A and B are shown apart, each in its own frame.
Chain A
Amino acid sequence: MAMKRRKLAAYEGDPLIPILNLVCMLIPLLLYGAVFVRFMTLTVNAPKISSAPSQQQPEQLENLNLTVMITDQGFHFKVNPKHRLPWMAQATDTASAGADIPKKDDGWDFDEFNRKLKEIKQNHREELNIILGAEDDIKYEVLIKAMDYSRGTDVEPLFPVVTLTRGVV
């Protein structure tokens, strides 16, 4: 009799236990599906792929046409010769020219890359486009980092419209 009373008392005392059981099962299930890292997107224009040199429109001849190539040596800048800055390599092809921003021991010098982009931007306030290219074996994370630096910040935007180009020109 006493045991029956005790059992009854225990049953009356814990109505939350079935809910607790349910919650205990839901938590691992939700933990498995939960995403704790936020993912962002970076818009990129389709790569320009052509084996032959493209015919430039008259307005393009006046444009800055900023192109940055990422190679194993560093960053190579190319612009319309009319807008070329003294520190840019004079050679027309990347292969023969040395890097405008050579690689450092610990990798690509993104701080210097940022400074050079700001310098170019000072003379071309309206320009938003940049063309990025890389050697075949350059890693995707380097490209993303270069895109981040090219975009600048909300306060000081640099060249947010990124177009990829195939290979090194």
Chain B
Amino acid sequence: MNPQVPAVSQDVGDKLWAQKREARKSKRRDRTAVQSKLLINSLMDAFTIILCFLLKSFGSDPVQIRESDDLKLPRSTSENPLLDAVVIGISTKSIQVDDQKVADLRNGAVDESMKRDGQEGLMINPLYDALKEKVQHLKMISARTGTQFKGTTLVVAHNATSFRLITEVLYTAGQAEFEDFKFVAAEGGEGAD
């Protein structure tokens, strides 16, 4: 038994089939369009969150300190935050005042030619000159704004810096009229229980 399908109904069937196929295609197209829009939206959400986090971490401290191979700060349990002051940086290679190099270091020490009293001396001449200049500048600002010159300095030193060099820097800063010294350390040291 072979049922005869009329030619008209076959045409209708083909048309219906074509319409169905078209509908399926357009549905698929729409779905792809919606999906891509959703992807971009979630990506934007993620980026916005990252952006907010980075904006918060950027420049929240009054002083920007960047650790490197030459400047690894010791860890401390102190909870005193950073404050705006003149920064004396001591890396493995040089001494800087507010990011301006003032003296080179050789084997972690200042060359005796840069010291006022030779090898055993404590005063580092180029550091003294740079700090004295800063003091004059800060005093001028204090006089104009009617505030008091505090003489605060932040010492940002590499963790392997010798105590001798620290003493030399503090002594020189003291001679240049700085009297409030603050050592900078990274958070997370081990302290007393």
Contacts and interface: CB of A to CB of B under 8 A. Distances in A.
A42 B183 contact: yes
A167 B162 CA distance: 12
Q: Is the interface of B mostly helix, strand, loop or mixed?
A: mixed
A16 B37 CA distance: 10
Interface string B156-193: 01111111101100110010000111111111011111
Contacts of A83: none
A106 interface: no
A156 B57 contact: no
A102 B66 CA distance: 36
B192 A149 contact: yes
B77 interface: yes
A39 B82 contact: yes
A87 B163 CA distance: 27
Interface in A8-45: 13-14, 16-17, 19-20, 23-24, 26-27, 30-31, 33-45
Interface residues of A, number: 54
Given A49-B122, A114-B192, A35 B76 contact: no
Contacts of A110: 190
A70 B184 CA distance: 20
Contacts of B65: 35, 39
Contacts of B183: 41-42, 44, 144, 147
B81 interface: yes
B74 to A, nearest CB: 4
Contact of B162 (A24, A30, A41, A136): A136
B11 interface: no
Interface of B: 33, 36-37, 40-41, 43-44, 47-48, 50-51, 54-55, 57-61, 63-67, 73-83, 122, 154, 157-164, 166-167, 170-171, 174, 179-187, 189-193
Given A36-B57, A46-B179, 12 more contacts: A16-B40, A17-B40, A23-B44, A23-B47, A41-B83, A114-B192, A137-B163, A141-B75, A144-B159, A164-B166, A164-B167, A166-B167
